[in-house]
C-alpha cells in the first residue's frame, strides 16, 4: 500500500485560477477575488447594499467565501452556498445564520470546535481536524444556485479537495446538492466512485477507495442544517450530532461522545 499523494505543487501555467495556487491558504485568498458568475456577483453585492434591517451597521463581506478549518483536516463538511445575510455578511462560512448556529453547536458538543457559536470572522472560533467548505462560494438568490453556477465554481472545490487529500478520511455532504456537487471533484482528486453512482440520503455511507492504493475516503450523507429542515423536524440536533460523531470516528478524530462511551 502506498501513502496518499502530496499536495499538488505543479499546476498548469495557464489553467483556471484555482489551478495556479500552490497552497490551501493561497486558494482561500484567491477565491475571494472570483467574479465568474455575473448573477451571483450581482446578488451578493446587492444584499450588501440593501442589508437586512438588523445588520444596517455591518459592512458586508460581499465576496466569495473560502473554506474554513485546518489545512490538514481529516473530516470535511460540504454545504451548499453562503447565506446572503449570513456568511455573505460576516465573511466566514456558516457564520451569522441559523444553519451555522446548529452546525457549530454540534461540533462544539463533540469537541471539534473551540466554541459553540459563530458570529463574526474574528470571534476566535477554531475547528479541530474539521474543514468546512461549499461547492458554490457566493450567495445565490433563494439559496438556489443554478447548475451552471455550480459547475463554474467546481474548480475551487476540486482544488481544495486535492490539497486536503493527504489527510482527508471522511467527507459529509450536507444535502443532496452537496452530494451531487461533490462526486466529480472527489473522482478528480483520486477516489473511486462506485457504479451506479451512490444516491444521497440522510445516513448514507459509502467507502471510496483511493485509485493509487492510498487511504480510502468515507462519504456520508446528512440532511442540510437549514431552518427548512430543522424547523420541520426533518433534521434534529440529535440526528446531526449522531451523524457527525460517526463521520468523526471514520476520520479518526476523537470526540467527547467517544470519550464518554469509553468511560461508561
Alpha-carbon distance of 31 to 17, in angstroms, equals: 8
Angle at 95 between CA 94 and CA 97, to 5 degrees: 80
Residue 119 three-state SS: coil
**Residue 149 interacts with ligand SF4 (CB under 6 A)?**
yes
Near ligand SF4 by CB under 6 A: residue from 37, 161, 217, 222: 37
Near ligand SF4 by CB under 6 A: residue from 36, 188, 204, 258: 36
Residue 208 three-state SS: strand
**Residue 35 interacts with ligand SF4 (CB under 6 A)?**
yes
Please state the closest distance from residue 117 (CB atom) to ligand SF4, in A.
Answer: 26
**Residue 159 interacts with ligand SF4 (CB under 6 A)?**
no
- Look at residues 249, 193, 190 and name the one whose alpha carbon lies nearest to residue 6: 190
Near ligand SF4 by CB under 6 A: residue from 18, 27, 40, 75: 40
Taking residue 50's Cβ as centre, other Cβ atoms within 10 Å add up to 12
Q: Which residue is listed with cell 440593501?
A: 50
Please state the closest distance from residue 168 (CB atom) to ligand SF4, in A.
Answer: 21
Q: Judged by CB, which is closer to ligand SF4: 31, or 161?
A: 31
Quote the strand ranges of the chain, DSSP E.
75-78, 130-133, 170-174, 205-208, 217-222
**Residue 118 interacts with ligand SF4 (CB under 6 A)?**
no
Site for ligand SF4 in 44-83 (CB under 6 A): 64
Determine phi and psi for 158, rounding to 5 degrees.
Answer: -60, -45
Please state the closest distance from residue 241 (CB atom) to ligand SF4, in A.
Answer: 30
Please state the closest distance from residue 161 (CB atom) to ligand SF4, in A.
Answer: 15
Positions in the binding site for ligand SF4 (CB under 6 A): 31, 34-37, 40-41, 64, 136-138, 149, 152-153, 156
Amino acid at each position: 500500500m502506498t501513502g496518499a499523494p502530496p499536495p499538488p505543487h505543479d499546476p498548469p501555467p495557464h489553467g483556471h485560477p484555482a489551478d495556479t495556487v500552490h497552497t490551501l491558504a493561497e486558494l482561500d485568498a484567491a477565491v475571494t477575488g472570483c467574479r465568474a458568475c455575473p448573477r451571483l456577483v450581482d446578488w451578493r453585492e446587492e444584499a450588501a447594499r440593501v442589508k437586512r434591517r438588523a445588520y444596517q451597521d455591518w459592512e458586508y463581506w460581499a465576496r466569495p467565501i473560502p473554506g474554513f478549518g485546518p489545512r490538514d483536516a481529516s473530516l470535511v463538511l460540504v454545504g451548499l452556498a453562503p447565506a446572503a445575510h449570513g456568511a455573505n455578511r460576516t465573511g466566514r462560512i456558516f457564520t451569522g445564520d441559523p444553519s451555522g448556529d446548529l452546525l457549530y453547536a454540534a461540533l462544539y458538543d463533540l469537541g471539534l470546535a473551540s466554541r459553540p457559536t459563530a458570529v463574526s470572522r474574528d470571534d476566535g472560533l477554531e475547528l479541530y481536524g474539521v474543514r468546512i467548505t461549499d461547492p458554490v462560494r457566493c450567495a445565490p438568490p433563494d439559496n438556489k444556485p443554478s447548475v451552471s453556477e455550480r459547475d463554474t465554481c467546481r474548480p475551487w472545490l476540486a482544488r481544495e479537495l486535492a490539497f486536503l487529500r493527504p489527510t482527508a478520511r471522511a467527507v459529509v455532504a450536507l444535502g443532496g446538492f452537496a452530494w451531487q456537487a461533490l462526486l466529480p471533484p472527489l473522482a478528480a482528486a483520486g477516489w473511486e466512485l462506485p457504479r451506479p453512482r451512490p444516491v444521497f440520503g440522510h445516513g448514507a455511507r459509502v467507502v471510496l477507495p483511493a485509485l493509487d492504493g492510498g487511504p480510502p475516503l468515507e462519504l456520508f450523507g446528512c440532511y442540510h442544517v437549514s431552518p427548512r429542515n430543522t424547523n420541520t423536524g426533518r433534521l434534529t440536533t440529535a440526528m446531526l450530532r449522531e451523524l457527525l460523531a460517526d463521520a468523526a470516528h471514520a476520520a479518526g478524530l476523537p470526540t467527547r461522545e467517544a470519550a464518554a462511551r469509553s468511560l461508561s
